Structure 1
Amino acid sequence: MYTQLSEPQLVQTHSISDSAAKYDVFWRSAKWCWDGSAVLATREDNSLQVWNDPSALASSSITIPQPAPVLDAVWYPGARTSDAPSYCFVASIRDTPIRLLDGTNGRLRASYKIIDHVERFVAPHSMAFNCTADKLYCGHRDAIEMFDIQYPGEGERIKTSSSKKSKSGMRGIVSSLAFCPDYSGIYAAGSFTSALWLFAEGQGAQPVCRLKGIASAITQVRPMLRRISAHATQVKFNPAYPQLLYAACRQRNSIYAWDTRNPSAPYATYERKSSTNQKLWIDVDASGTWLVTGGTDGSVSFFNLTSELEVNEPEHSFHAHDDAVGSVALHPIEMKLLTVSGSRHFEETAQVNEGSDSDFKDDVQRHVQRVRPVAFDATMKIWDI
């Protein structure tokens, strides 16, 4: 699959809103379900959106409002519209329990609670199902919470660091999780403190190893940046070569690649335009040949993973949007690509004149400038590739 790339052809375009009142709303991410029969998207306006027929983006969606920002949303493995029991997904909503929602109508099926030391609900920043789809792993501060899907309620806490002051283990928010697709039980966890670790199911907090070398990889390209850390926003295993792992980082143009059999340093980097705090998703095709990612310049880039170069430029790139491409997703079966765009840009509104207090003899006009976020291009597109 995807052995040769052709010039992408735009199939569908859908704007998040035609109303000026929605100037600051855009999609954060969009994901195909297991067989590509549905799309799940997270939005900036505290809502989720599901398309049960991706061939009609403009008319086939349901919107599921949430009480707080959506931190993450993940399809249940094997979810498809033709199988009602499996057609569901989990969503992480700030300060609320994790929700298992029906893909057809957004109905709540179950909830899973993470509670901190002062009895407040904690929403995970990352979630991943294991390969057998019976456990859900959720990353939050200094810990990973594991839930048995069959038993809603509280889960089992795996502490990645013994204390906030501890220098050992993986400290900080566990911002990304991914399971190795070879059913070995190995999973990768990344944090906002530059740490990338491998863990194994059944071994609790005892890590398999630490993936090193992000700092040294940065200094190879930019020797002056010796003390700058990289905050991992996504980790992803190669589906065809499960020993290979990729990590995308905040404020980094490089995507790092490791062979987990040699975790001492990345063996390659892939360069994109991504010097932003916004999470820009990456994807790898089923054959393990192509890595695709969006950029802050509106481009979508394809990297050849069979390259033996240490520093890689895109083999193919095209302009897809007029704003940052926050999410890319390759169709699991067909030669299609799903992209969404949008980011926060701050523009000053027209000046507003306000009269002065009556105590003043002369009228004094104060010019008040209000700054509001604007998304230049909040669209979802499907491409034939």
Structure 2
Amino acid sequence: MDTTTTTTWTPPTYDVSKPPALAHTASLSPDDKFPHNFARTVKWCPDGSVALAQCENRSFQYLDLPPELLDLTLSQTTEAPVFTPLKSRTIPQAGPILDFLWYPRATPHDPASFCFVASVRESPVRLLDAHDGRLRASYKIVDHRERQIAPHSLAFNATAQKLYCGFEGAIEVFDLTCPGEGPHVLISHLLESGLISALTFCPSYDPSYSLFAAGSLSPSSRTSSNIALFSEDTGGKPVGWIGDVQASVMQLAFNPMKPHILYGSFRRRDEIYSWDIRGNTMIPVQIFRRNNGSKRLESNQKLRFDIDICGNWMAVGDQNGDISVFDLQSGASEEIPTEDECESEKTPTMKFHAHDDAVGSVAFHPLRSLLLSGSGSRHFSLGEENEDPCERRDISILHDSDSSDEEDSDASGDEGGAEVHVKRRLRRPEPYVLDNSVKLWDFQ
């Protein structure tokens, strides 16, 4: 008698009728040299076994997650091997981190695939081993002055064989199996003047959808767009233009289950726009508004959104510490939009307070009904009443002194011999963080 049992995975479902439960709160490793550290971006490994944070202190850190999360994730796979703990929670880098991306097939149970690419300022693109942080390969981008250029956006193609890197006015394409310098792919002159701040590939394997979108940090004008569609077959020649939003592109993403729907967020814009690339791409089909009213965001910080694996829900944070969840299926039409069809605005299906600082990144778990959120932003004190007393000191000097300090002082008055007080800063002001926690939310 055959007693073999098989495990069937079912897509995660999200209960948005009530706020999610806080399942776990993770903290970053302490850094004495950078006490105001916070996570800028958090991303799950593609199999959901570990989560990696890109931190302000120029390091990558693995998050401490509940052991039962890993156990349940592994139980949903067949014959999962024994997981070996990571050697270190922190992977320091030599410079500020601009972007990072997991290898699409990465899993700690396959050492060869367990890796990610990182873009570090003034350095080649690095392929790092996710187990111990060692360098596997590097991919150089060198400009005409022989300077190392670090891309601001990274994307793998559909087959995960090529890496696309966006930087100032161009996209560099690398074959992962051939480290070194890759072919230089120039894009249209309408985007050459701006930094390529966002790249995303269409998730369909259909040859008719072998497309990727690129967005520029330079705001679009009334006569041109800063989002272009490209095909791997045509190289650097755009096959289409998207949107007329006159703002800097922050993030682009296709719907995982509807590869014809593209979403985009912009700097200092509260809205997230969506376009149907089958129809008129200059008119958005839906606009997702986080907050009521027309108040603009006051921060230039990139607030990343994420879409769940089934393409049903989109989550995004704001600078007030709230997370908004939008229903992507409600009001969406499968028909190709007509030329005169107007866009529809959508409000959050659910909104809850998650942190006491800006929510810079959210990430849906690929297998379970979980959402990871990272909080933190740089704040500076305004006015002397909020400053640390040790940052300034009073120095009494004579106005008629022969010292060179007289020229640098901000003393007022013309009478000689008058004693004045000069305030000088002992050290540069450091930013502070209101909330640098990373939280795990359960939607079941």
1:374 is paired with a residue of what secondary structure? Answer: coil
Corresponding residue for residue 349 of structure 1: 388
Partner residue in 1 for 2:266: 249
Q: Residue in 2 aligned with 1:179? A: 201
- Structure 1 residue 362: Cα displacement: 5.0
2:38 aligned to which of 20, 23, 26? 26
Q: Which moved more, 1:4-13 or 1:106-115?
A: 4-13
Mean Cα displacement is larger for which, 23-32 or 136-145? 23-32
Which residue, out of 273, 282, 306, partners 1:264?
282
Deviation at 1:21, TM superposition (A): 5.9
1:144 aligns with 2:171: yes
Provide structure 1 residue ranges, at least 5 long, that are not aligned to the other structure. Answer: 163-167, 215-228
Q: What is the match of residue 328 of structure 1?
A: 362
For residues 157-183 of structure 1, give each alpha carbon's deviation from its aligned partner in whole angstroms, at most 9, with x where no partner exists.
111134xxxxx4553110000110002
Return the TM-score normalized by structure 2.
0.78
Q: Give yes or no for contact 1:289–1:306 (8 Å, CA) kept in 2.
A: yes
Question: Which residue is 2:19 aligned to?
Answer: 7
Question: Structure 1 stretch 329-338 or stretch 194-203: which is displaced more?
Answer: 194-203
The whole-number CA distance in structure 2 between the counterparts of 1:374 and 1:149 is: 39
Give the Cα–Cα distance (whole angstroms) in 2 for the partners of residues 298 and 325 of structure 1.
5
Provide the secondary structure at the position in 2 that maps to 1:4: coil
Separation of aligned partners in 1, 2:424 and 2:273? 45
Written as runs of structure 1 = structure 2, the 5 A alignment for 1:182-193 is: 182-183=204-205, 184-193=209-218
Is 272-281 or 32-41 further displaced after alignment?
A: 272-281
Q: Report the Cα offset of residue 265 of structure 1.
A: 1.1
Q: Which amino acid aligns with 1:328?
A: V
- Partner residue of 1:296? 319
Q: Could you say which residue in structure 1 is the equivalent of 2:328? A: 305
The match for 1:63 among 67, 84, 90 is 90
Question: What is the Cα deviation at residue 2 of structure 1?
Answer: 2.9
Question: Are residue 99 (structure 1) and residue 126 (structure 2) matched?
Answer: yes
Aligned to 1:200: 231
Q: 8 Å contact 1:37–1:54 — kept in the other structure? A: no
Partner Cα separation in structure 2 for residue 95 and residue 22 of structure 1: 21
Unmatched 5+ residue regions in structure 2?
1-11, 70-84, 220-225, 292-296, 332-342, 382-386, 403-415
CA 1:275 to 1:315, structure 2 compared with 1: closer, same or farther past 3 Å? farther
Q: Which residue of 2 aligns with 1:40?
A: 52
Query: In structure 2, which of residues 107, 127, 146 is the aligned counterpart of residue 80 of structure 1?
Result: 107
Using the TM superposition, give the Cα deviation of residue 133 of structure 1 relative to its aligned residue in structure 2, in angstroms: 0.5
**Mean Cα deviation higher: 271-280 or 284-293:** 271-280
* Partner secondary structure for residue 439 of structure 2: strand
2:66 maps to amino acid: S
**Superposition deviation, residue 320 in structure 1:** 0.5
Q: Is the 8 A contact 1:330 1:336 kept in 2?
A: yes
Determine which of 352, 366, 378 is the counterpart of 2:422: 366
Deviation at 1:14, TM superposition (A): 2.1
The number of residues matched between the two structures is: 364
TM superposition score normalised by structure 1: 0.89
Question: Is the 1:252–1:276 Cα contact (8 Å) retained in structure 2?
Answer: no
Identity %: 45
Over residues 42-65 of structure 1, what are the superposed CA-to-partner deviations in whole Å (9 max), with x where a residue is unaligned? Answer: 1111111234x63269x9752111
Checking the alignment, whether the CA contact within 8 Å between 2:394 and 2:423 is kept in structure 1 is yes
Q: CA deviation at 1:131?
A: 1.1
Q: What letter is aligned with 2:214?
A: A
- Once structures 1 and 2 are overlaid, which stretch shifts more, 10-19 or 177-186? 10-19
Q: Is the 8 A contact 1:349 1:372 kept in 2?
A: no
Contact 1:349–1:371 (8 Å) recurs in 2: no
Q: 1:271 to 1:170 in 2, by over 3 A?
A: farther
Q: How far is 1:18 from its partner?
A: 5.8
Aligned to 1:220: none
Q: Which position in structure 1 is the counterpart of 2:294?
A: none
Q: Which of 1 and 2 has greater Rg?
A: 2
Correspondence for 2:351 among 270, 295, 317: 317
Please tell me whether the aligned partners of residues 139 and 176 of structure 1 are also in contact (alpha carbons under 8 angstroms).
yes
> Bigger CA drift: 30-39 or 353-362?
353-362
1:196-227 deviations in Å (ceiling 9; x for gaps): 1110112111111000232xxxxxxxxxxxxx
Larger strand proportion of the pair? 1
